[in-house]
Amino acid sequence: MKAISQDVLGGPDVLKMVEVDRPEPGPTEVLVRVEAAGVNPTDWKFRANGGMLRPPFVLGWDVSGVVEAVGLGQALYKPGDEVFGMLRYPQGHGAYAEYVTAPSRHFVRKPANIDHVQAAAIPLAGLTAYQALVDVAGLKGGQRVLIHAAAGGVGHLAVQIAKARGAYVIGTASAAKHDFLRGLGADELIDYRTEDFSEIVRDVDVVIDTIGGDYGPRSLRTMRKGGTIVSLTLSLFDPSVHTVAAELGIRSETMLVEPDQAALRAIAALVEAGRMRVEVAAVLPLAEAAKAHELGETSRTTGKIVLSVPR
């Protein structure tokens, strides 16, 4: 099968199309014919720095496609079923390819009202947002939530999940993206280029920090005692946030996304009900993965970038 691989760490130019053996599903696994693969900021970070991965490797965690074959003991899906999901992060990478294998419970059925490109844009970002808001922060109706980079891949889905749970949503984003976010239900928006959110926002119950650096310490100034701040950027996290938060009576957590069938089913239900939509900024063929990374690293896109896998 064809896949996008890299032999060394570096810029987008290290991504090359290669021929590799098609994987076979093991017990309780499914083999999925990839129709589309989502591209996330974590992809270009691993491409450049490796992290826990060592070349050669095939990047990508977001998958939407069709079940091609099933392993021993797998009872959820049959060949021909349309599914989408997230490979185990970070160990289960490999979505930039024509086929992937993974445990069947890392997937759910693709909502009928979206195509594979839209579905592939959802899993990693959607699960990150859902797990941060629902599982970690325990967001409830009527609470106030501050979402940083609200127009980004995680951010714009977090806005919709929070609204679906009845929260009052405040987002930081450039002014050009405010109308887009209002269309998703955001109640209050701060232009980070011209305003200091920490001087404006108050009485926040939950903060979702997708940026890191000084955003964590500054966010604490906006929060109520008893609130929760969740950092999604471990590499850019300021450890002093934990200390200061504890002094203020605020809970501070960091997290990595995990495959989660129950959460993905909840997300799929929101999509099917028309309460969540994913913004796709660009679609490129698998062979142009390097261009997708170049585009993503500009940090100018709204929503997600997706690779299509032509036959």
pLDDT digit of tens for each residue in the chain (311 aa)? 999 999 999 999 999 999 999 999 999 999 999 999 999 999 999 999 998 899 999 999 999 999 999 999 999 999 999 999 999 999 999 999 999 999 999 999 999 999 999 999 999 999 999 999 999 999 999 999 999 999 999 999 999 999 999 999 999 999 999 999 999 999 999 999 999 999 999 999 999 999 999 999 999 999 999 999 999 998 788 899 999 999 999 999 999 999 999 999 999 999 999 999 999 999 999 999 999 999 999 877 888 999 999 87
* Residue 2 contacts residue 98 (beta carbons within 8 Å): yes
Strand partners of residue 2? 19
pLDDT at 249: 98
Rounded CA gap, 284 and 205, in Å?
Answer: 39
For residue 92, report the phi and psi dihedrals to the nearest 5 degrees.
-95, 25
CATH superfamily, region 2-122+278-308 = Medium-chain alcohol dehydrogenases, catalytic domain (3.90.180.10)
Q: In what order do the strands lie in the sheet with 188-190?
A: 188-190, 168-172, 144-147, 204-209, 223-231, 251-254
Asked if 2-122+278-308 and 125-254 have one fold, the answer is no
* Residue 239 contacts residue 177 (beta carbons within 8 Å): no
Which residue from 77, 99, 98, 64 is spatially nearest to 28, judged by alpha carbons? 77
CB neighbour list of residue 171: distance below 8 Å, 6 or more residues apart: 146, 147, 148, 150, 151, 155, 159, 181, 186, 188, 189, 190
pLDDT at 236: 81
pLDDT at 311: 77
Q: Is the peptide bond before 23 cis (omega within 30 degrees of 0)?
A: no
Q: Where are the domains of the chain?
A: 2-122+278-308, 125-254
**CATH code that applies to domain 125-254:** 3.40.50.720
pLDDT at 174: 95
